Every structure is written in C-alpha cells, then in structure tokens.
Amino acid sequence: MSCCQNSAASIGLYVDCGSVYETPASFGATHLLERMAFKSTTNRSHLRIVREVEAIGGNVTASASREQMGYTYDALKTYMPEMVEVLIDSVRNPVFLDWEVNEQVSYFVRSLPFSLLENGMFIGCVNAAAKSEG
C-alpha cells in the first residue's frame, strides 16, 4: 500500500474581483461576497453544502484581497470529484437568499469598530451609497 494513497488535496478557484474594482456605490461588495461564499446555491442549500463538506472531512474557505477573491476546498484527494463539484457550484450558482445576505450584513455591522459607528462614518457611507443608486 502506498504511503501517499490518501494524501490531502487543496483545490482553489481565483477570480479577479477584488476591492480594487469596487466603486463608491459598491463599496464593501467584495467583503460581502467573501462572507457569502459557500452559502445556498441553485443546486444546494447552505446546510447541504456544510453536510457534504463535513461528510468527507473537508474544509472550505474564501478570501478576498485587493486584486482577487479565492475559494478553496481541502480534503483527501480521493474526494476530488466531490470537491470540484461543490467548489464550482458555490462560485457559479449562488442564489444570495435575502435572509443569508441580511445575516452577513448584520454580522458585518456588529463587527465594525465602535468608533466608526459612534462618529456616524459608517451610517454616512451607507446613506451616500443609497443616494447614488437613484
């Protein structure tokens, strides 16, 4: 039996959609997309994605930077077909359910430094973004 038969694999998908591409009207979109990674898709609920990942002992992550976003899936290489399927489905077919988006926006607001909320800077940015869409 080979010592590397069940070695781990890490696959990733990288997309040129970092914060450098944001406009004043879309400020924060990259961070929100990062938070929405591996949520519900047209083919799977978020719960189903979590269960599929956990069933094979995998780990999924998303990261956002100035230039790009990265979506990765780590598991044993014997599960590569399942990994690819979930990774592609999560990146290409998100549904952005209202309650999932609202949950992530709420988390984002709660995680802001208190000083930003206290001096009204965040509220000012939100109001400016809302006014610019009209």
Q: What is the pLDDT of residues 28-62, one digit of tens each?
A: 889 899 999 999 999 999 999 999 999 999 999 99
**Closest to 19 measured CA to CA, from 32, 1, 4:** 32
Predicted TM-score (pTM) of the model is: 0.76
- Give the separation between CA 33 and CA 88, rounded to whole angstroms: 15
pLDDT of residue 99: 95
pLDDT of residue 26: 87
67 part of the active site: no
Least confident of 41-45, 105-109, 111-115: 111-115
What is each CA distance from 19 to 23, 58, 110, in whole angstroms? 9, 28, 21
* Catalytic member of 22, 34, 67, 82: 34
pLDDT of residue 124: 65
The answer to whether 41 and 49 are in contact (CB under 8 A) is yes
Q: What percent of the chain has pLDDT over 90?
A: 60
pLDDT band at 126; cut points 50, 70, 90: low
